[in-house]
Amino acid sequence: MPIVVVGHVDHGKSTIVGRLLADTGSLPDGKLDQVRELCRRTSKPFEYAFLLDALKDERDQGITIDAARVFFRSARRHYVVLDAPGHVEFLRNMITGAARADAALLVVDAREGVRENSRRHATMLAMLGVPRVAVLVNKMDLVDWSHDTFTAIAGEMRAFLARLDVTADAYVPVSGMAGANLVGRAAEMPWYDGPPVLDVLDGFPEAPSATEAAFRLPVQDVYRFTRFGDDRRIVAGTVASGRAAVGDTLVFHPSGKRSRIASIEAFHAAPPASVSAGMATGVTLDEQIYTTRGELATRADEPAPHVSSRLRASVFWLGRAPLGPGRDYHLRLGTARVPMRVEQVDRVLDASTLDETAGGAVARHDVADVVLKCDRALAFDRHADAPATGRFVIVDDHEIRGGGIVREALADGDEAARDRVRLRNRKWEHSRIPPDARAARATQRPTLLLVTGERDIDRKGLAKALETRLFGAGRAVYYLGMANMLYGVDADLERTLAMRHEHFRRLGEIAHLMLDAGLILIVSAADLGPDDLDIVKVSVPAEQIRTVWFGPSAEARIACDLTVADQGLDQACAAVEALLVTEGVVPAP
Q: Which residues pair with 259 in a beta bridge?
A: 250
pLDDT tens profile 480-495:
988 888 888 888 888 7
Q: Is residue 543 part of a domain?
A: yes
Domain count, the chain: 4
Domain hosting 437: range is 431-582
- C-alpha to C-alpha distance for 448 and 536, rounded to whole angstroms: 10
> Residue 54 and residue 33: Cα distance in Å, rounded?
15
In a domain, 264, yes or no: yes
| Beta-carbon-side half-sphere exposure of residue 466 (alpha carbons within 13 Å) | 32
CATH of the domain at 283: 2.40.30.10
Percent of the chain with pLDDT over 90: 43
120 shares a domain with 17: yes
Residue 54 in this model has a pLDDT that exceeds 70: no
* Same structural domain, 82 and 151: yes
What's the DSSP call for residue 296?
A: E
CA-nearest of 392, 410, 390 to 401 is 392
587 falls within a domain = no
Supply the pLDDT for residue 147.
96
What mean pLDDT is predicted for residues 23-35?
71
pLDDT band at 512; cut points 50, 70, 90: very high
State which amino acid sits at residue 132: R
Average pLDDT over residues 293-316: 94
Name the pLDDT band for 142 (thresholds 50, 70, 90). Answer: very high
Give the domain-ending residue among 380, 415, 450. 415
Q: Residues 237, 172: one domain? A: no
Judging by DSSP bridges, how do beta strands 274-276 and 243-245 pair with one another?
antiparallel
Return the pLDDT at 59. 44
* Together in a domain, 262 and 342: no
Contact 317, 400 (CB under 8 A): no
pLDDT for residue 146: 96
Compute the mean pLDDT over every residue in the chain, rounded to the nearest whole number. Answer: 86
pLDDT for res 155? 96
Residue 239 lies in a domain: yes
The C-alpha atoms of residue 314 and residue 329 are separated, in whole angstroms, by 16
Name which residue leads in pLDDT, 476 or 19. 476
CA separation (Å) from 99 to 90, 199, 404? 15, 23, 10
Q: Kindly report, residue by residue over 152-200, the tens digit of the pLDDT.
A: 999 999 999 999 889 999 999 999 888 899 999 999 999 999 999 999 9
By three-state DSSP, how is residue 137 classified?
strand
| Same structural domain, 378 and 327 | yes
Judged on CB neighbours under 10 Å (0-12, 13-18, 19+), 318 is buried
Question: For residue 260, what pLDDT is reported?
Answer: 94
pLDDT at 45 over 80: no
Alpha-carbon distance of 307 to 587, in angstroms, equals: 35
Alpha-carbon gap, residue 333 to 311, rounded angstroms:
12
HSE-up of 304 (CA within 13 Å, CB side)? Answer: 20
Does residue 248 have a pLDDT over 60?
Answer: yes
With 60 as the cut, is the pLDDT of residue 224 above it?
Answer: yes
